[in-house]
Amino acid sequence: MAGTGKAHMRPDGDRVLVVDDLTVEFNLGKNKVVKAVSGVSFDLVRGETLAIVGESGCGKSTLGKAVLQLPKPTSGSVNFLSKELTTMGKSELRDMRPAMQMIFQDPVSSLDPRQPVSAVLAEPLQVWNKGTQVEIDAKIDELLTAVNLDPAVVRDRRSYEFSGGQCQRISIARALALDPTMIICDEPVSALDVSVQAQILNLLQDMKDRYGLSLIFISHDLAVVKTISTRVMVMYLGKVCEVATPDELYTNTKHHYTKALVGSVPIPDPDRPISGNLIQGEPPSPMNPPSGCRFRTRCPQASEKCAQEEPQLREVSLGHFVACHHPAE
């Protein structure tokens, strides 16, 4: 699995983001290089929620950050709102930032513990001169109300006074403050309880509809992205394995790695046998990835061909792309 290719790109769509052949490498010294993301291409159509799914270390977070040029990718292009970000200077890039926001995994540590909520939300508005103090105050109240927090109660509190779910609501409000076009959500619900997780997923969906956002949703859990995404991209060790709509991906799984991810989702039903479809072990080191298909060392269907030739993404049915020499029937 884990191949390259651009068959899944949609040049005819109204695309807010086009990422082409993006590579991110980290130099560890002593001639050691970690290839966190290797030649990944994808695009994001306006109003879409693209889920990027994979295990720890597959490069999904690095990819999300590289899109925002945090840090700049090693090579490849990132085209956001028809502007090339990778070649931009600092001040130009800064001007783009309000339109592209990020929500982080750990809601508590992503808020400044010394600032009250009102200051956390006021900061981006003041930096970008979005009106007088009165207008900013009104905007803060509007944002807090939008994420279902009571402004009168929460305005003057600090992050440690809130639960994880409430902190994540504040992070979402902060990301919305500058009316962004795109928000990258990096595992926004992984640190939350299931009951709170559902609240935050619903909230993200509401905010997307209300503000006309395009979302990139990074997660390790296929079940979490199922309800809210419109397209899912599965990654393994810095490469793309499979791209499809969520319904298609679960009912007609083609990639053996996606199958393993599907089989790993815990099912709240004691009568359903635990899936025997699990992959063992952990991904190999990205410093020295396997030749050919990167998943072959853990793949039940791996053959000679997989070691020699890297699979390319190809369309197996309408809108369903897979990079595998031996896709499942």
Partner 1 sequence: MSPLLKLEDLSVSFATPRGNLRAVKNVSIELQKGESLGVVGESGSGKTVLSRATMGLLPSTATRTGKIIYKDQDISQLPRNEVRDLWGTGMAMIFQDPMTALNPVRRIGTQLTESLTVRLGMSKKDARAKAIELMKRVRIPDPEGMLKKFPYQLSGGMRQRIMIAIAVSCSPEMLFADEPTTALDVTVQAQVLELLTELRKEFNMGMILVTHDLGVVAGHTDKIAVMYAGDVVEYAPTRQLFNNMKMPYTEALLKSIPRLETPTGTRLPVVEGRLPDPTKNEPGCSFANRCPYATDKCRTETPPLTDGGNQHFYRCWFPIGGGK
Angle between helices 164-176 and 133-146 (to 10 degrees): 130
Give the residue with the Cβ less far from partner 1, 70 or 265. Answer: 265
Say how far apart CA 182 and CA 1 lie, in whole Å: 29
In whole angstroms, how close is the CB of 301 to partner 1 at the nearest point? 17
Instruction: Work out the angle at residue 237's Cα, subtended by the Cα atoms of residues 56 and 104, and round it to the nearest 5 degrees.
Output: 40
Strand partners, 269: none
By beta-carbon proximity to partner 1, the closer residue of 15 and 298 is 298
Question: Which amino acid, 259?
Answer: K
Residue 273 Cβ, how far from partner 1 at the closest point, in Å? 8
- Give the nearest distance from C-beta 101 to partner 1 in angstroms: 23
Q: Report the distance separating Cα 122 and Cα 271, nearest Å.
A: 51
Which CB sits closer to partner 1, 175 or 196?
196
Between 71 and 266, name the residue whose CB sits nearer to partner 1: 266
Q: Quick count: other Cβ atoms within 10 Å of Cβ 209? A: 10
Closest approach of partner 1 to the CB of residue 65, in Å? 19
Judged on CB neighbours under 10 Å (0-12, 13-18, 19+), 308 is: exposed
**Residues interacting with partner 1, by CB under 8 A?**
55-57, 163-164, 193-199, 201-202, 205, 220-224, 226-230, 245-247, 250, 260-275, 278-282
Residue among 15 and 231 whose Cβ is closer to partner 1: 231
CB of 246: closest distance to partner 1 in angstroms?
Answer: 5
CB of 205 to partner 1, least distance (A): 7
Alpha-carbon gap, residue 60 to 113, rounded angstroms? 28
Q: Which is nearer to partner 1, 98 or 263 (CB)?
A: 263
Mark 12-40 as b/e (b = at least 16 C-beta within 10 Å): eeebbbbbbebbbbeeeeeeeebbbbbbb
Phi then psi dihedrals of residue 63, to 5 deg:
-60, -45
Q: Compute φ and ψ for 202, nearest 5 degrees.
A: -65, -40
Nearer to partner 1, 232 or 293 (CB): 232
Looking at this protein, which amino acid is placed at residue 305? Answer: K
Q: How far is the CB of 295 from partner 1 (least distance, A)?
A: 12
Q: Which residues pair with 265 in a beta bridge?
A: none
Structure tokens, 44: 């994001």
